[in-house]
Structure formats: structure tokens, C-alpha cells
């Protein structure tokens, strides 16, 4: 039983530049059309920290369309969930640009009270856009995927209704933000945990559903589509600052491995690559068809240029009789099974 969970990180660029209309609203609107047409739904990881700051400082009129889009998505059964880049939580807008707090990249490095404050702000923002005063999210993804150490973060997530985390990508390593997922459990597609999101516990209070990755030889990553997406991103990022350049050097170090974990990314992969990966999963699933296996896909609104490939891939999944669902739907299914 494979369950394909599409997740979209819904946000502008990491350095605070880019427009809400171009990088968030428009690409998501086209993606929504595809999902409506095929009557399936996805999980929208809303970067609530940047959205609420943009709304508070009134720096981009596109935010109104974004908030209306979020309301409609929630109304129509798409899942909204917090995705917090903590460097935005105390951001200030000075001299026509965002001053982000670069020391707060990894939510795991923050004290418990700060985590609670940021989570509360995030849930409040989702309550505002859904127009539901008691809205509680079910799933969570940390900004830049970084949430280590996390024993103090998990009870706070739990307090706000969150039961599923999807921050881990197996084999992941990003030195500059101290992210290290190389010790993630190798086999299972999901696991319960309480203290450490990399340590499965039978009676854990949360479930980790990692972003699906496969190890790929580094030279195979140089696919035409990935390069085009990277170029387009860089055009949009022309205001890159020194910190980002430093980050890139660290990033090259992280990638200086012969095999690198490749996320199942519907913005960066071409159709053939996604179908090959899926074909292998279907074969594997046939050995234990009664076990529920979440396959979490990732995309970013700011990288979503090729909607045609996305639609072809969805058609392929449906043709193969695969199920596309949200975390809320798979959670219900798991609860019912137990």
C-alpha cells in the first residue's frame, strides 16, 4: 500500500527577495488546477513566519491573493501545515529590504519558550487565513529541514496538535545549519518517535514521514531539468548576499560525496526519473502489500516552473492505480488500522 503524499513548500526566496504573486500565488494556482482536475489533494507547507511578516509590514500586495488562496485550499480539502523558517520570526523591514535573523536557522537550537512563541504565532496565522479560530495543524516541516537537537521541540509541536513530522530526508547533511540526517533509520518508510526524530520508538508520540530519497551518484544529478531549475532560481536570486555565498561553499562540501541523497522532487526531476523511482517502489511494495508506506514528495512554489510534467506524473500515478493523499488522510487510515 503506497500512499503518495505531495507536499509543497509555499514560500519566496530564502534571502527574503521575490514576489508573492510570482513565486507563491501563481505557481500554486496552476498546481491547484491540476489537483482539482484529477480530484486529488496535497499538503501545503505554508511558510507562516514570512507570510505573517509580509502581511504585518504590508510590503507586498500579493499577500492578499495568497491569503485568499489559502482559505480556499483549506475549504476544499487541501491540508495546510506550518513550515517555519525561524530566521523570519523576528525579521524587520529596513531600507526596502528584509533583515532576517541569520542566527536562527535551526529551530532545534532555540530555547523551548522561543519555539513555543514561534509555533503559537504560526498556528495563529493559519487560524487567521482558514478563518477557523480553533484550527490545529496535523503535520510540520522545519525550515531548511533543520530540527536538531529536537527533544525540547517535539512536546511543543505535540501541544499544538501536530502528530506527523516531515523534516527528515535520509542521508541529508548541511554543515552550515548543523543538519545531519545520515543516521536516519534505513528501512522503514515511517516510524514513531518521542525524543529524537532519528530514533524510532514503539510507543512514540509522533510519526516521522520522511521526504522520500534515493541515493544517486553525484554525476547523475546533473540532469538537464535540474540545471534549468537552478539557473532560473539564480536569476531570481540576483541580490544574493555574502552569507548565501558562504552557504554555497559549505553546500559544495556537503555534496562532495560520491553518492548524494536525491529527494523525490516534482519540481526538479523529469518525468522519466520520477517514473523510474516510482516503478522501483511499486515493485518493492508488491512484496508487502498490506503495509502502509507513505511516499512523501517535495516541491517548492518558487521552483515550480514545469506544471506539465507534474500533471503527466499525476496521470501516470492514477493510471498505475496508486493513491495520492494528504497526511490527514493517511493518519486516519493508520488510526483505523490500529
Binding region for Zn ion (CB under 5 A): 9, 11
The residue (of 11 and 265) whose beta carbon lies closer to Zn ion is: 11
- For the CB of residue 178, give the shortest distance to Zn ion in the complex, in Å: 17
Cβ–Cβ contacts within 10 Å for residue 260, how many? Answer: 18
**Min CB(120)–Zn ion separation in Å:** 20
Residue nearest to Zn ion (CB): 9
Least Cα distance to 137 among 111, 119, 118 occurs for: 119
Give CA–CA dist 191/302, Å, rounded. Answer: 30
* Shortest distance, position 194 Cβ to Zn ion, whole Å: 25
Specify the residue, 164 or 281, whose C-beta has the smaller distance to Zn ion.
Answer: 164
Task: Provide the minimum distance between the beta carbon of 46 and Zn ion in the complex, in angstroms, as a whole number.
Answer: 10
Taking the C-alpha atoms of residue 85 and residue 87, their distance in angstroms, rounded to an integer, is 6
Task: Please check whether residue 78 is in contact with residue 5, taking contact to mean a CB–CB distance below 8 angstroms.
Answer: no
Neighbours of 203 (CB within 10 A): 6
By beta-carbon proximity to Zn ion, the closer residue of 5 and 317 is 5
Nearest distance in Å: CB 90, Zn ion: 17
Residue closer to Zn ion by CB (options 41, 85) is: 85
Peptide bond connecting 168 to the previous residue in cis, omega within 30 degrees of 0: no
- Work out how close the CB of 186 gets to Zn ion at its nearest, in angstroms, rounded to a whole number: 26
Give CA–CA dist 309/226, Å, rounded.
13
Report the Cα–Cα distance between both ends of the chain, in Å, rounded.
16
For Zn ion, give the closer residue by CB, 78 or 191: 78
Q: What would you report as the CA-atom Rg of the chain, rounded to the nearest whole angstrom? A: 19
Tell me if 61 sits within 8 A of 102, measured CB to CB.
no
Measured from the CB atom, the residue of 9 and 176 that comes closer to Zn ion is: 9
Amino acid at each position: 500500500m503506497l500512499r503518495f503524499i505531495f507536499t509543497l513548500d509555499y514560500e519566496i526566496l530564502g534571502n527574503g527577495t521575490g514576489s508573492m504573486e510570482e513565486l507563491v500565488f501563481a505557481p500554486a494556482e496552476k498546481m491547484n488546477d491540476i489537483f482539482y482536475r484529477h480530484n486529488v489533494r496535497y499538503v501545503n507547507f505554508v511558510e507562516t513566519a514570512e507570510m505573517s511578516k509580509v502581511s504585518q509590514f504590508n510590503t507586498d500586495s500579493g499577500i492578499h491573493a495568497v491569503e485568499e488562496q489559502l482559505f480556499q485550499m483549506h475549504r476544499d480539502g487541501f491540508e495546510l501545515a506550518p513550515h517555519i523558517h525561524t530566521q523570519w520570526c523576528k525579521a524587520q523591514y529596513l531600507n526596502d529590504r528584509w533583515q532576517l535573523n541569520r542566527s536562527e536557522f535551526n529551530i532545534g537550537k532555540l530555547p523551548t519558550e522561543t519555539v513555543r512563541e514561534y509555533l503559537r504565532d504560526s498556528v495563529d496565522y493559519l487560524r487567521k487565513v482558514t478563518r477557523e479560530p480553533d484550527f490545529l495543524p496535523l503535520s510540520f516541516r522545519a525550515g531548511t529541514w533543520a530540527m536538531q537537537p529536537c527533544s525540547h521541540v517535539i512536546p511543543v509541536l505535540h501541544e499544538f496538535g501536530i502528530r506527523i513530522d516531515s523534516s527528515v530526508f535520509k542521508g541529508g547533511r548541511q554543515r552550515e545549519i548543523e543538519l545531519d540526517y545520515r543516521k536516519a533509520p534505513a528501512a522503514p518508510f515511517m516510524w514513531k518517535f518521542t525524543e529524537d526524530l532519528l530514533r524510532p520508538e514503539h510507543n512514540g508520540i509522533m510519526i516521522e514521514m520522511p521526504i522520500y530519497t534515493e541515493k544517486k551518484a553525484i554525476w547523475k544529478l546533473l540532469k538537464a531539468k535540474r540545471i534549468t531549475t537552478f539557473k532560473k532560481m539564480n536569476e531570481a536570486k540576483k541580490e544574493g548576499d555574502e552569507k548565501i555565498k558562504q552557504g554555497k561553499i559549505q553546500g559544495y562540501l556537503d555534496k562532495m560525496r560520491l553518492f548524494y541523497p536525491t529527494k523525490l522532487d516534482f519540481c526538479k526531476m523529469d518525468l522519466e526519473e520520477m517514473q523510474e523511482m516510482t516503478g522501483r517502489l511499486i515493485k518493492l511494495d508488491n512484496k508487502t502489500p498490506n503495509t502502509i508506506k507513505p511516499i512523501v514528495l517535495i516541491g517548492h512554489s518558487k521552483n515550480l516552473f514545469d506544471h506539465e510534467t507534474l500533471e503527466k506524473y499525476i496521470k501516470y500515478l492514477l493510471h498505475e492505480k496508486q493513491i495520492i493523499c494528504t497526511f490527514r488522510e493517511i493518519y486516519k487510515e493508520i488510526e483505523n488500522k490500529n
